Amino acid sequence: MAKKVAVLVGSLRKASYTKQIAQNIINLLPDDFEAEIIEIGNLPFYNEEYDEGTTPESYTTFRNKISGMDAVIFATPEYNRSVPAVLKNALDVGSRPYGKSAWNNKPAVIISTSIGAISGFGANHHLRQSLTFLNMPVVQQPEAYIGNVASLLNEDGIVTDEGTIGFLQSIVDAFVNLVNKY
Ligand SMILES: Cc1cc2nc3c(=O)[nH]c(=O)nc-3n(C[C@H](O)[C@H](O)[C@H](O)COP(=O)(O)O)c2cc1C
């Protein structure tokens, strides 16, 4: 049976480089992996009161969607050396109600991007910290830091450099290996 993969992108920009990298990653997945980019920009900021009263429909839809997935790809830019709020919010929403986290035990990979040379290291590792708590096994190697991202994409959002494609494929291969162990 095909493995279902949620793809979460930590940028809401239509022209997001990170989203373009995520699409390149999706294109490298094997045929028995079905990936879907999941909307996170529509989730209101998490408030525990929502889970004590009327839960927003967007929360329920999101939680059900993640629960039905086998694995998760996180592709994120770095904001102020950390994870963009929209992605952290999605993690928080999916982690509740207490004891019913949609993330539990789902294998994952983190791909950080940056227009600069430091490659989103801060975002990558802050996200890794949260995923440890959320009990998500995460690809350890290769570490997926994509720096100078703008220069890697052509006008159609495609990575054309053979070395970079090979690197993205090695990330995908490690992710596929991890997912197939679960
Ligand atoms: C609020 C904000 C904070 C940022 N902080 C960082 C940062 O800490 N490190 C970094 O490499 N780039 C930082 N950037 C630049 C992003 O790498 C750049 O805007 C990138 O294009 C965002 O990814 P996207 O193209 O997927 O939207 C920041 C951008 C914004 C808007």
Residue-wise pLDDT for 75-89, tens only, equals 999 999 999 999 999
Give the pocket of ligand 1 (CB within 6 Å): 11, 13, 16-18, 77-81, 114-116, 118, 120
Q: How far apart are CA 33 and CA 26, in angstroms?
A: 9
What are the helix (H) ranges across 104-149? 121-133
Upstream peptide bond of 97 is cis (omega within 30 degrees of 0): yes
Q: Which domain holds residue 49?
A: 3-181
CATH number for the domain spanning 82: value is 3.40.50.360
Burial per residue of 105-118, b for 16 or more beta-carbon CB atoms within 10 angstroms, e otherwise: ebbbbbbbbbeeee
For ligand 1, atom 11, the nearest C-alpha belongs to: 114
Q: Which atom of ligand 1 is nearest to the CA of 13?
A: 27
Question: Residue 181 Cα, ligand 1 centroid: separation in angstroms?
Answer: 34
The whole model's pTM is what? 0.98
Owner of token pair 């839809």: 61
Q: Which atom of ligand 1 is nearest to the CA of 82?
A: 8
Q: How far apart are CA 34 and CA 30, in angstroms?
A: 9
- Condensed to tens digits (0 to 9), the pLDDT of residues 47-68 reads 999 999 899 999 999 999 999 9
